[in-house]
Amino acid sequence: TQLLEQSPQFLSIQEGENLTVYCNSSSVFSSLQWYRQEPGEGPVLLVTVVTGGEVKKLKRLTFQFGDARKDSSLHITAAQPGDTGLYLCAGDRRSGNTGKLIFGQGTTLQVKP
């Protein structure tokens, strides 16, 4: 059973287009993170959202945490070829002060010039 469902799994768009990636779960997370992974590299943390309803912006990227802290979205405005990569959402399941990241399946984004 996949705890975090990420969609779409693949996305190929033209430079300048907008896109949204979704990360959904039936479970509540103490926080949710978005990572970006390039070929041959490890995932790199983009943002952490903590409060239900929270919105964070990172240049052309907008991240939102659902009110119930079960889902999140990543919106990219005017995508550029440099945005190409694998985007991963990860929910933090905490037990005491021990955290465990549960990852979604990832969204492979290709932005064509």
Which residues of this protein are in contact with other proteins, per CB under 8 A? 30-31, 33, 37, 40-45, 48, 50, 86, 88, 90, 92, 94, 97-103, 105-106, 108
Polymer length of the chain: 113
Q: Which amino acid is at 72?
A: S
Q: Rank residues 83 and 106 by Cβ distance to other proteins and give the closer one.
A: 106
> CB of residue 78 vs other proteins: minimum separation in angstroms?
26
Of 67, 53, 14, 6, give the one whose Cα is nearest residue 34.
Answer: 6
Least Cβ distance, residue 85 to other proteins (angstroms): 11
Question: How far is it, in rounded angstroms, from Cα 91 to Cα 24?
Answer: 10
